[in-house]
Amino acid sequence: MSKRLARTLTPKVGLYFVALLLMAAVTFFWRWDVALVELILTAVLAIWTIFSVRRQRLDAGKYLEGLLSSVDQAARDGALNCPLPLVMFRPDTGEVVWSNERFLRIAGGPDTVFDTDLAQLVPDFDSRWLMEGKNACPDEIDLRNRRYQVFGAVTRPEGKGGDYPVATTYWLDVTELADERDVYHATKPVAAILLLDNYEEVIKSQAENVRAYMLNEISQRIAAWTDDVGGMLCQMDRDRYLFLFEEQYLAGYKARKFSLLDSIREVENSSGIPATMSIGVGVGGESLGELYRFANLSVEMALSRGGDQAVIKTSSDFEFYGGRGKEAERRTKVKSRVMASAMAELMADASCVLVMGHKAPDMDAVGAAVGVCAIARRKGVPHYILQPDNPSPADELYRRVGEMEQYQHVLVDHEEALALLGPQALLVVVDTNRPEQVMDEELLHACYRVAVIDHHRRAATYIEGAALNFHEPYASSACELVSELIGNLMEPTDLIPGEAEAMMAGLMLDTKNFTLRTGARTFEAAAMLRRAGGDTARVRKMFQTNLNDAVEKYSIIQTAKMYRPGVAIAVSDRTVGRVTASQAADELLNIAGIGCSFVIYPDGDRVAVSARSMDDTNVQVIVEALGGGGNAGAAGAQIPGRTVEEVRGELTAVLDSYFARDETGPEQG
């Protein structure tokens, strides 16, 4: 018996005997004979206590030894007669120490276990979870065409030779349960909405026989794409189909990158305009109604990203496939009129209008903010623009706006903006639709009513619950969209020249002086701003750079190398300004043979990528794989925790995957 246990079992009676001895000593002064009797009784009690305690220790020791022996025997019997396959091994080396008969049978016989490593018997088994203190293997283990859930623990035996850990594992056969679970997941329903997103553009002005042929060809291609899975396809409208199928077939559609997108694109009208389709897929919903809602959200996401792509919506995320083509301009102005009316109603009920753009705002964000303020001024509503705390590419435009008489008290900082917020305040976010990219996320979450005006293609994260969402990915810039609102809500002469020039600067920035991403409505917006007094010569001066920035820009261009035909990558090993890097990417497109360009450079604790395209390459899809965003012709990304060379390697891997479409079909976006 251990000394600690012996001390625990010994009664604490020493103090009592001390008291008896003191009493005998006191009595001795009055009656020595009585004191002698007390001493004799005390000695007898002490002797009896000593023998009693020894007897109790012996009895307790025998009981504990018997109990431990019983436990050890029960453990040995339990291990030998365990109803589950059991194997003991060293997790550090994988050497099998012992197993029961049941494990021998599932492992292939007695000759296959001893003098071998567990990894040779079960190649997929990883024992790291045991060393991490877990009691259950996170994955099911396949062994001889059966599936097992493994439980266990690690002990370190005491005594000689017990300086290494031993793992005891129990193998529960879950084959039938796992098969049933797989069948359940494989047969879960999936809802998909197939939308011919340019129906009017393709069908209008076509002869009746051409129209009938095209619609029949599209229907046949959709039917051929859906027939192999035994699903249910029904046409809900002239340009919309509902497709229900089992989840086990979704992996095949993903592997083929939704080949229906390419198949539909082969159908062209007599003018050579190809049909395009958007596919919205809902997966993992708790009910058919939720699946249908997921599918609707997916197809809306596909349209907001320019159409001609497939989007999968799960309960937590989006997946993108296709979307490689450029956005096509839709000529209808109905949406602009509807959005202008909605904006007027929101401003009429607002106590004040606060406008902000994205982080490190550019001229498009600032110009759009100025345009919104012009509308608010016309409606008689107090209006403010949030200005950044740090230097930004639009500092010169901020300075010019602040010098205008009407904007003396319009530019506010973070604290002033929070103080202005109230239940009726309206926050207008321009030139971005992603909550993590806005200039002030705290301000976004603090405002009850939010309006979004943006032209970038929507990403997996976007501002939800907006009271107004004027989102047109085909537009050249946010300034173009705001110009359309102004055209429906006020006269061009209501703009002051400084406001018109700020918006014109945004147009010129995002269109590269009206050479990229321009449509008829882009020039209509520019003409309206010119009538409002915008001076192109003054705007041109905003784009002037100093000599050092120009030298830096061309030093970046000198590092450019052709990665593949039409694709140039420039890498700078030192920090440069964002505007300089963007200008370098734009300048590379002026070189013959380059259709898209990428500039990679360090930016503090991150690595930044600036991407530009003037051909069919969709750089937004490429940089999204790096965690960035933008639109088809201009995009960017900021990657933390990487080096420049690591980001270059990731970019080239994404480019290889993107351009592998020619051999394997459309790539994921």
Q: What is the mean pLDDT of residues 242-261?
A: 92
Can you tell me the distance from the alpha carbon of 48 to that of 452, in angstroms, rounded to the nearest whole number? 93
27 in Cβ contact with 42 (< 8 Å): no
Residue ending a domain, among 29, 55, 79, is 79
Determine, yes or no, domain membership for 329. Answer: no
- Whether 500 and 607 share a structural domain: no
Determine, yes or no, domain membership for 334. Answer: no
pLDDT tens column, 532-585: 988 888 888 888 878 888 888 999 999 999 999 999 999 998 888 888 888 899
**What local confidence, expressed as pLDDT, does residue 453 receive?**
95
CATH assignment of the domain containing 287: 3.30.70.270
- Whether 75 and 89 share a structural domain: no
Determine, yes or no, domain membership for 586. Answer: yes
CATH assignment of the domain containing 172: 3.30.450.20
Helices assigned H by DSSP within 309-457: 334-348, 363-379, 395-403, 414-420, 441-446
- Whether 467 and 344 share a structural domain: yes
**What local confidence, expressed as pLDDT, does residue 653 receive?**
92
**What local confidence, expressed as pLDDT, does residue 662 receive?**
45
Determine, yes or no, domain membership for 394. Answer: yes
**Is the pLDDT score of 118 beyond 90?**
no
* Whole-number average pLDDT of the chain: 85
- Whether 611 and 588 share a structural domain: yes
CATH assignment of the domain containing 513: 3.90.1640.10
Residue ending a domain, among 182, 201, 227, is 182
Split into its structural domains, the chain has a count of 5
- Whole-angstrom distance between the N-terminal and C-terminal Cα of the chain? 71
Can you tell me the distance from the alpha carbon of 62 to that of 584, in angstroms, rounded to the nearest whole number? 88
Can you tell me the distance from the alpha carbon of 257 to that of 666, in angstroms, rounded to the nearest whole number? 5
Can you tell me the distance from the alpha carbon of 53 to that of 9, in angstroms, rounded to the nearest whole number? 8
- Whether 317 and 214 share a structural domain: yes
**What local confidence, expressed as pLDDT, does residue 61 receive?**
66
Residue ending a domain, among 485, 518, 542, is 542
**What local confidence, expressed as pLDDT, does residue 3 receive?**
57
- Whether 538 and 602 share a structural domain: no
Can you tell me the distance from the alpha carbon of 625 to that of 460, in angstroms, rounded to the nearest whole number? 12
- Whether 515 and 573 share a structural domain: no
Determine, yes or no, domain membership for 209. Answer: yes
- Whether 635 and 568 share a structural domain: yes
- Whether 504 and 428 share a structural domain: yes
Determine, yes or no, domain membership for 333. Answer: no
pLDDT band with cut points at 50, 70 and 90 for residue 667:
very low
pLDDT band with cut points at 50, 70 and 90 for residue 380:
very high
- Whether 627 and 489 share a structural domain: no
pLDDT band with cut points at 50, 70 and 90 for residue 332:
low
Can you tell me the distance from the alpha carbon of 276 to that of 165, in angstroms, rounded to the nearest whole number? 63
- Whether 380 and 504 share a structural domain: yes
CATH assignment of the domain containing 609: 3.10.310.30
Q: What is the 3-state secondary structure of 161-192? A: CCCCCEEEEEEEECHHHHHHHHHHHHCCEEEE
Determine, yes or no, domain membership for 138. Answer: yes
**What local confidence, expressed as pLDDT, does residue 331 receive?**
46
Q: Which residue has the higher pLDDT, 120 or 111?
A: 120
What domain range is 295 assigned to?
Answer: 192-322
**Is the pLDDT score of 244 beyond 80?**
yes
**Is the pLDDT score of 295 beyond 80?**
yes
Q: Which two tokens stand for residue 539?
A: 């705007």
- Whether 572 and 428 share a structural domain: no
Determine, yes or no, domain membership for 331. Answer: no
